[in-house]
């Protein structure tokens, strides 16, 4: 706890990141107090500009932008987190095993890895949508994207694992009779955790960005409100032409805040988690 406080005091990136992300999370948490279910339309008068009654205005479909946005950002954040977590597990397992085992295992895993790196993601995801059509759901998309999003970071982790393999402490672990699984989880995993944390945030950013893009174009389940889906509906109702700017501006603003917050956290976390660089900050 003291660590977090210290970070907050001394690390400006961390402080700004926490404030921004905290704001977004609180906003998302407000969805639990929403007076309207997310998918109900025409519960308020349509097309009202921001006012005291409707702080962020209302949509052409008669939804309150403020309350709709709380649902949207909640789903978007959860989506990003789910993709990031699943793909982190994949890249950790594959990166560590490939780097440690080497030889034929490494070659097989890395050719798989390179295949995923060169695959064009966007057309695949669009294709995925056309195949799934009505069965398309939020969870399914998260799963598909995490299966596509692990490759870069697996390579990164592999490169670290390869150098760890030749260190004395690895040889000592082998000598003391630890199994490969024990070496990977007890000795190597703590070493790569900083990288994983930093890529976690970056991966969240990546997946949220991609999800917004897909949704805006209508290639996702458009009945679950997310930031992208909100913009999609705004476009469907030609909100900008009709002058309903608040329907587009506020979702975009909120997702940008979330982006910047995550990025700043990624940067500062990276510095902190490694105990060695933590000491550097104290002495230097």
Partner 1 sequence: MTVPVLQVQALRAYYKISSFGLDREVRAVDDVTFHVNANEIYGLAGESSCGKTTLIRTIAAATKPPLRVVGGSIVFNFAGRAVDMQKADDDTVAAVRWKHLSYIMQGSMSVLNPVRRVERSFVDFAFRHVGRRMAEFLDIVSDHLRRLDLSPDILSAYPHQLSGGMRQRVAIALATVCRPEFIIADEPTTALDVIVQNGVLAMIRDVQKELGSSLIFVTHDLAVHANLCHRLGVMYAGRLVEEGGTREMFRAPLHPYTAHLVASLPRIGNTEPKKGLEGTPPNLADPPSGCRFHPRCPLAREVCRAQVPPMVEVAPGRRVACFAVTPPARAA
Q: Are 98 and 136 in contact (CB under 8 A)?
A: no
Q: From the CB of 194, what's the least distance to partner 1, in Å? A: 9
Segment near partner 1 (CB under 8 A), from 32-40, 46-54, 188-196, 263-271? 188-196
* Shortest Å distance, C-beta 171 to partner 1: 6
Polymer length in residues for the chain: 284
The dihedral over CA atoms of 233, 239, 241, 245, expressed in degrees to the nearest 10, equals: -140
Q: How many of the other CB atoms lie within 10 Å of CB of 175?
A: 9
Binding string, 55-84, against partner 1, x = CB under 8 A? ------------------------------
Residue nearer to partner 1 on the CB measure, 35 or 275 = 275
Which residues are paired to 58 by β-bridges? Answer: 64
Work out which of 23, 152, 191, 245 binds partner 1, going by CB under 8 A. Answer: 191
Q: Could you tell me the smallest distance in angstroms from the CB atom of residue 168 to partner 1?
A: 5
Burial track 5-44 (b if 16+ CB lie within 10 A, e otherwise) = eebeeebebbeebbebbeebbebbebbeeeeeebeeeeeb
**Per-residue interface string for the shown chain with partner 1, residues 13-32, x marking contact by CB under 8 A:** --------------------
Nearest distance, CB of residue 170 and partner 1, angstroms: 9
Yes or no: say if 64 and 44 are a contact pair by the CB < 8 Å rule. Answer: yes
The footprint of partner 1 on residues 244-283 (CB under 8 A) is 274-276, 279
284 sits near partner 1 (criterion: CB under 8 A): no
DSSP for residue 284: -
Residues 143-182 that bind partner 1 (CB under 8 A): 167-169, 171-178, 182
Q: How far apart, in whole angstroms, are the C-alpha atoms of residue 104 and residue 116?
A: 19
Query: Do residues 43 and 62 lie in contact, with contact meaning Cβ atoms separated by under 8 Å?
Result: yes
Tokens found for residue 9: 């005091």
Residues forming the site for partner 1 (CB under 8 A): 167-169, 171-178, 182, 186-187, 190-191, 193, 274-276, 279
């Amino acid at each position: 706890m003291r660590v977090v406080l210290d970070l907050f005091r001394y690390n400006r990136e961390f402080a700004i990141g926490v404030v921004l992300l905290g704001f977004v999370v609180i906003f998302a948490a407000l969805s639990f107090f929403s007076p309207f279910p997310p998918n109900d339309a025409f519960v308020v008068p349509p097309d009202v500009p921001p006012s005291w009654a409707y702080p962020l205005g209302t949509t052409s479909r008669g939804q309150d932008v403020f309350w709709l946005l709380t649902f949207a950002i909640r789903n978007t954040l959860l989506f990003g987190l789910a993709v990031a977590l699943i793909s982190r597990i994949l890249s950790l397992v594959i990166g560590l095993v490939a780097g440690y085992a080497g030889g034929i295992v490494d070659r097989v895993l890395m050719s798989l890895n390179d295949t995923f790196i060169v695959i064009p993601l966007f057309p695949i995801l669009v294709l995925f949508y056309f195949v799934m059509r009505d069965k398309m759901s939020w969870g399914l998309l998260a799963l598909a994207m995490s299966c596509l999003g692990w490759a870069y970071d697996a390579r990164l982790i592999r490169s670290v694992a390869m150098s760890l393999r030749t260190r004395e402490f690895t040889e000592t672990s082998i000598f003391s009779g630890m199994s490969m699984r024990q070496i990977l989880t007890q000795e190597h995993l703590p070493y790569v955790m900083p990288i994983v944390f930093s890529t976690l945030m970056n991966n969240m950013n990546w997946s949220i960005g991609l999800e917004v893009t897909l949704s805006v174009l209508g290639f996702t389940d458009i009945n679950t409100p997310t930031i992208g889906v909100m913009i999609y509906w705004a476009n469907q109702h030609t909100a900008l032409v009709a002058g309903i700017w608040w329907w587009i501006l506020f979702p975009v603003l909120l997702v940008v805040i979330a982006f910047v917050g995550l990025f700043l956290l990624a940067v500062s976390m990276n510095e902190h988690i490694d105990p060695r660089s933590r000491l550097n900050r104290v002495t230097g």
